[in-house]
Amino acid sequence: MPLPTRAGLDAVPAYRQGRSAPAGASKLSSNESPHPPLPSVVEAVQQRLSSIHRYPDMSAAALRERLAERYDVDPAVVTVGAGSVELASQLIHAVAGEGDEVMFAWRSFEAYPSLVRIAGATPVAVPLNSDHAHDLDAMLAAITPRTRLIFVCNPNNPTGTVVGAAELEAFVAAVPRDVLVVIDEAYVHFDRTESYGAGVELFHRHPHVAVLHTFSKAYGLAGLRIGYALAPVEIAENQRKVAVPFGVTDLAQTAALASLDAEGELAVRIDEVVVQRDRLHSLLVTAGWPAVASQANFVWVPAGDRTDELELLLREGGVITRAFPGEGVRISAGSAEDIDRVQSALSTQTAPQEARA
């Protein structure tokens, strides 16, 4: 007899990691920091290596208290998880189940629909508008009595677009109070618009808002997997119930605390990434590709049926990107050397895109 399998998982694709890069190539497929860990963070982690035979503090009390002080909230509303994706999963499981709906823009973070289906709920994907941004009016119109949670990825992955602070506030105010609005700010540190930090402000002003942040991107801790959420206390309590016990290691908690101590150094690195992001966008537009202005640490090129062409052009030039077949290519903002390689690859085009359209 065949082994038992759970019905419905055939509709859940396995998460696809950004393609690795061969030696000498630039890996711009995973939105990672191009910078190695700060020496102070490495030192802090090394000092904890001798205690890895012990379980970590499952409550992450020191980190939660530090974050609570930072955002002027009660530690009870702060939860910690293995990256913002695990926290997104916690929030879904905390509020939604069979027959419930979870809404998000599309295209947005590719894990959303899978996480929703794994929880047994129904994903509701609302198309982006013509500017590759959230269509908030359409999202409001899509709310039903079964809607339990709405994700707003801001800046949006993979398009890099943002919802302005005033627009986001109006949206949150219009959403029924029994629907949780989760503002996923994984890339907020790269945002140079007035929407920067809007999620936390809305959390303070509205009772049905949660916010996701991660240490993976701007803080450069992708390999240690740690992020945090601010959520209404009753939601946070349910998150802790559905979280994987001991899911955040002691080394990750230590690195996060050390990173918060080194935010001045990290700010310089973030500014460098923003410079290279804007340079990357300019290079793509000059080469004739329809790149979207970004407020994240990547640039989206909605190349449509030319997606494979752009991905191959860059790959042959030693640049590994994230291609979404038939839709576009997402290119992370790497180091100056990485973007130099993009520039060299684009220079091998036989003609600008406009001339060949």
Domain assignment present for 240: yes
Residues 171 and 186 in one domain: yes
Residues 213 and 324 in one domain: no
**pLDDT for 6:** 77
pLDDT one-digit tens code per residue, 215-256: 999 999 999 999 999 999 999 999 999 999 999 999 999 999
Domain boundary among 231, 261, 291: 261
- Give the Å distances, CA to CA, from 303 to 307, 329, 330, 344: 5, 7, 10, 19
Residues 161 and 292 in one domain: no
pTM above 0.75, yes or no: yes
**pLDDT for 322:** 97
Residues 227 and 128 in one domain: yes
Query: How far is it, in rounded angstroms, from Cα 57 to Cα 145?
Result: 39
Intervals of the chain under pLDDT 70: 15, 17, 350-357
Residue 201's Cβ-side half-sphere holds a number of Cα atoms within 13 Å equal to: 10
Residues 186 and 240 in one domain: yes
Residues 168 and 228 in one domain: yes
Query: Number of structural domains, the chain?
Result: 2
Spatial contact of 330 and 158, defined as CB atoms under 8 Å apart? yes
What's 271's domain CATH number? 3.90.1150.10
Interstrand relation of 328-332 and 322-324 (parallel, antiparallel or unpaired): antiparallel
Residues 299 and 229 in one domain: no
**pLDDT for 134:** 98
Domain that holds residue 112: 39-261
Residues 296 and 194 in one domain: no
